[in-house]
Structure 1
Amino acid sequence: METIDPSDPSPLLSNLETKKTEEKVKKVTFDDVLAELGEFGLEQKINYFLFSLPYILTSMQLMGWVFVGANFPHRCRVPGDEPETWIQGSGLNSSFSEYNSDWESNSCSRRILGNTSLEECTEGFVYHVSQGAGRGSSVTVDWNLVCSREGMKATVGAAPMAGYLVGGLIFGVLTDKFGRKPTYFIANILMAGGGILAALAPEFVSFVSARILTGFAIAGIEASCFVMGMELVGPSKRTLAGILCWFFETTGLLCTVALAYLLQENWRLLQVVYSAPALLCLVYWWIAPESVRWLVARGRNEEARKLIYKAANRNKVTIDESLIHEMELSIKHELGEERTEKTYTAVDLFRYPVLRWKTLILILCWVTCASLYYVLLLDQSELSEDKYIGFLMTAAVQLPGYVYVIFTLERPAFGRKNSMCMFLILAGTALFTHPFIPETYPRLKILISIIGRFAANCSYTILNLFSAEQFPTVVRGVGMGFCVVVSRLGTMLAPYLLLLGRYSPCLFGVSALVSGLTALLLPETLGQPMPETLQDGEELTLSLPFKKTR
C-alpha cells in the first residue's frame, strides 16, 4: 500500500486536478440532452413553426406603413379647381404642374402668372391618379404630409422605432425574468391593439401614438420569438433555425405588398387587415410551450423535465434520465453566485470584460444593420417608379440571400463572423458608390442598388444568429433586447436622413464599412455550444481577424 507524505502537497494537488478534470468531463448542457432528444425533431419543428409565424404579422405591421402612408403626385390647389381631392388624367409632367389663365402651380408652390414671387400652398393640394385607375388612399393624402409637412411623415416612420427602443429594454428583461411565452403573449395583444387603434385614428397625433405602441409591442414579439427559436435546437441545426424564421418575415413583406395592391382605395381597412390576424395568436397561451433552456436556468426542473419527456415521446426517442439529472446539476453548479432567481439587466452586460466588448461591438453592428434594413424597405425609388414593383423587388431579393446563407454559414471557410463582415463591407461599398454613378447608366444604378440590398439583408440575417450565440442563456434575452433597443436609435434617424437627398446613402455606407471591420474582433461561434452561464461566455474570448478561438 502506497504511503503519502503529509508534508508533500503533490498528491493532494494531483487529486484536486483529477477531481476538477472529472467535473469538467461530466459537465452536461442542454445541447447534450438535445443530442439524444434530436437536435431538430418533430416537437421542435412544430414549436419552431409556431414561434416563426408571428414574423409574418410583425413585418406587415411595421412595413405596411410604406403603403398606408404612400406618396402620390400632387400640386398646389389654385382658385377655380374642383373641390375634389383627386383628379385623373394622363400626360402630366414629372412635377405634376398645372397652368390656367391666372395661376401656375407645381408640387409645393404656386404663383400668379406674371408675378415672379412664389407662395406656399395655402389652400391645400390636389392629388393625381392615372387615367382609369381607382382613387388612391393614404395617410399622406388625408393629412397632407407633403412639402413643408414632409418631416411629419418622417416622424410617422420613426414612431414605431421609438416604441421599439423602449419595448426592447422592458421586454428584454421580461423574457429572462418571466419567460419567453408570457412575454410573447402580452406583446402580441399590444401589437394587435396598436394596429387597430392606428386604423381608427382621427388625426395625426393619435395615429403616431398608435404607431409607437405598435413598435413597443413588436420589440417584445421579436425578442421572445427569436430567442425561443434559437433555444429549441442543437448546435448543428442552429444556423438553419436562425435563418428559416426570416423566410417568414419575407413572406410577411410579400403579403404586405399583395394586400396593399388589393386594398389601395382604403388605407384604414388595409391597416385593420394588417392588424387583426394577431388576435388569432391568442391560442398560443394554450398550445405553445415555454423554453426548456430558460426553465432549467431558472431552476424550474420539473416543468423542464415534462417538456423534455413530451418531446422525446413525439420524437420517438428514449431519453436517459441520468443525463437530464447531470444537466441540472451542471447548470446549478456553474450558476454559483449567478443565482437562479436573480433578475439580470442591461447593466450585467458590462460587468464582465469579454462580454462588455462583445456587447459594444454587437451594438455598433445592430445600429448599422437595422438602419440599412429599414431605410432600404422605406425607399425603393431607385428600383422603380411603381411603389408596388419596387417593394416587391426589395422583398424578393431577400430570398436568394437566405438560401446562400444557409448553405455557407456551416462551412468553416465562411462561418458566421467572416460572412457577416464580408456582407457588411460589400453593402457599405455599394451604398457609398451608388450616388456617384451618373444617371446615364440607369441599369448599373439598379444593379448596384440590388447588390447593396442583397448584402445588407444577408448581414442582418447573420447578425441575428451570431448575436444570440454570443450571449449566455441567463442574459440572452437581455442582450438581444438591449442590442435591438440601441439599434432603434439608428432606425429612428433613418427616415430623417433620407430627407438629406441624393447623398444620404453615403452615411449608411460608411457605417457599414466601419461595422464590418470592427466585427472581425468577435469570436467565431460556428460549432461551439451556446454558453449557458456568464462564466461560459467569458471563456469564448475575443479574437484577432480570422483567427480561431478555443
Structure 2
Amino acid sequence: MSKMNKLKVTTKEIDEISDEDLRLKFNVQVQIEKESIREIMHSKEIVIRLLVTSVCFFSASFIFCGLMVHSVFLPGNKYTNFALVSLTSFPGDILAYFTFIKFGRRVSLQYAYFATALFIVCQAYTPDSISWLKIVLYLLGKFGVVVCFTGIFTYSMELFPTSVRGSLVGCGNTVARLGSMLSPLTPLLTTEMSTLPAILFSSTAILAGSLLAFTPETKTMPLFDTIEQVEAYKAKTAT
C-alpha cells in the first residue's frame, strides 16, 4: 500500500509505529461521517447514479445467469457446452481489467453491454445446422457479460462517496440477485417464441448500456468522501 501511494516509509516504521501516529505523519484522516437515506434522496446526482447502476447490476446478473441456464439448449453435447460457457468467466475478468485501465470505466462498460446484446441476438437467429457459429457467438455473448458483471462492481464503487459506498453498492448487488432469480424462468418463454429469451437479454443489455451515458467517467476522478463533495465536483465540471 505504501509503495502504490508512493509514501516514504520503511517496513520497520510500519511495524513499530501505531496506526494513529502513522496517520498523523502523513496527514491521513479517517472517514467517520455517515450519511442517511435522507441525504441520498436529496442528491439528484447520487440518485441518478444509484438508478443507473441498479439497472446495470440487474442486467449483468440476469444475462449472466440466463446464459448459463440456456447453454444446455445449444446444439451439440450439453455438458461440453456448459463447461465452455463456464470457462469464459476468467478471460472476461482479465479483459475487463485491461480495458478499464486503457479506455476508462464507462466506455468499456457501454461497449461490453452493446457487444453482449449483439452477440446474443445473432446467435439466436443463427440456424442450429451451423452449430459451431451458434456456439461461438453464444460464448462471445457470455464473454461480454462477464466484462459487464466485473466492470459494474468496480465502476459503482468509484461512483459513490465513502460515506454511502457500502450501502449503495450493496443495494445494486441486491438488485443483481433479483436478476439471477428471474433468469431460470426465461426458458418458459421459448414456448411462445424460441428467440424471446435472447431478445429479452439483449434488450436489458441495451438499456443498461444506454443509461450509462448519464453517469461520469471515473478513471481520472478522485474517490470522494461525502455526497457534498460529489455535488461540488459535479457543479464545478458543469461550468
Tell me by how many angstroms 1:539 deviates: 3.8
Tell me by how many angstroms 1:448 deviates: 1.1
What do the CA deviations read for 1:311-353 (whole angstroms, capped 9, x no partner)?
9339xxxx865344x3328x57xxxxxxx4x5734x5432211
Unaligned runs of 5+ in 2: none
Is the aligned partner of 1:419 residue 2:108?
yes
Is the aligned partner of 1:520 residue 2:191?
no
Q: Out of 211, 214, 222, which is 1:529 matched to?
A: 222
Is the CA contact (8 Å cut-off) linking 1:432 and 1:506 kept in structure 2?
yes
- Return the TM-score normalized by structure 2: 0.82
User: Which residue does the alignment assign to 2:83?
Assistant: 392
Give me the whole-angstrom Cα distance separating, in 1, the residues matched to 2:76 and 2:15. Answer: 55
Q: Out of 70, 74, 77, which is 1:379 matched to?
A: 70
Residues 363 and 311 from structure 1, CA distance in 2 versus in 1: closer, same or farther, beyond 3 angstroms?
farther
Unaligned runs of 5+ in 1: 1-33, 40-233, 237-308, 333-339, 543-547
Give me the whole-angstrom Cα distance separating, in 2, the residues matched to 1:468 and 1:456. Answer: 19
Give me the whole-angstrom Cα distance separating, in 1, the residues matched to 2:13 and 2:238. Answer: 34
- Pairwise mapping of residues 117-516 of structure 1 onto structure 2 (< 5 A)? 312-313=14-15, 321-324=23-26, 326-328=27-29, 340=33, 342=34, 344-345=36-37, 348-383=39-74, 385-411=76-102, 414-501=103-190, 502-503=194-195, 504-516=197-209
Give me the whole-angstrom Cα distance separating, in 1, the residues matched to 2:101 and 2:223. Answer: 15
How many residues are paired up? 226
Residues 443 and 382 from structure 1, CA distance in 2 versus in 1: closer, same or farther, beyond 3 angstroms?
farther
What do the CA deviations read for 1:486-522 (whole angstroms, capped 9, x no partner)?
2333222211122111221110101101211110221
Give me the whole-angstrom Cα distance separating, in 1, the residues matched to 2:148 and 2:107. Answer: 10
Q: Which amino acid aligns with 1:512?
A: A
Tell me by how many angstroms 1:382 deviates: 4.6
What do the CA deviations read for 1:119-162 (whole angstroms, capped 9, x no partner)?
xxxxxxxxxxxxxxxxxxxxxxxxxxxxxxxxxxxxxxxxxxxx
User: Which residue does the alignment assign to 2:3?
Assistant: 38
Give me the whole-angstrom Cα distance separating, in 2, the residues matched to 1:481 and 1:549. Answer: 29
Tell me by how many angstroms 1:310 deviates: 9.5
Is the CA contact (8 Å cut-off) linking 1:408 and 1:415 kept in structure 2?
yes
Residues 493 and 359 from structure 1, CA distance in 2 versus in 1: closer, same or farther, beyond 3 angstroms?
same
What do the CA deviations read for 1:346-372 (whole angstroms, capped 9, x no partner)?
x54322111111111111111111111
Q: Secondary structure at the match of 1:531?
A: coil
Is the CA contact (8 Å cut-off) linking 2:120 and 2:202 kept in structure 1?
yes
Give me the whole-angstrom Cα distance separating, in 2, the residues matched to 1:499 and 1:475. Answer: 39
Give me the whole-angstrom Cα distance separating, in 2, the residues matched to 1:387 and 1:540. Answer: 51
Q: Secondary structure at the match of 1:529?
A: coil
Residues 372 and 540 from structure 1, CA distance in 2 versus in 1: closer, same or farther, beyond 3 angstroms?
farther
Tell me by how many angstroms 1:394 deviates: 1.4
Is the CA contact (8 Å cut-off) linking 2:66 and 2:186 kept in structure 1?
no
Identity of aligned residues (%): 23
User: Which residue does the alignment assign to 2:231?
Assistant: 538
Q: Which amino acid aligns with 1:513?
A: I
Tell me by how many angstroms 1:540 deviates: 4.7
Is the CA contact (8 Å cut-off) linking 1:349 and 1:479 kept in structure 2?
no
Is the CA contact (8 Å cut-off) linking 1:425 and 1:516 kept in structure 2?
yes
Residues 311 and 441 from structure 1, CA distance in 2 versus in 1: closer, same or farther, beyond 3 angstroms?
farther
Larger radius of gyration: 1
User: Which residue does the alignment assign to 1:28?
Assistant: none
Q: Which amino acid aligns with 2:29?
A: E
What's the C-alpha RMSD, in Å, of the aligned pairs?
3.0
Residues 549 and 444 from structure 1, CA distance in 2 versus in 1: closer, same or farther, beyond 3 angstroms?
farther
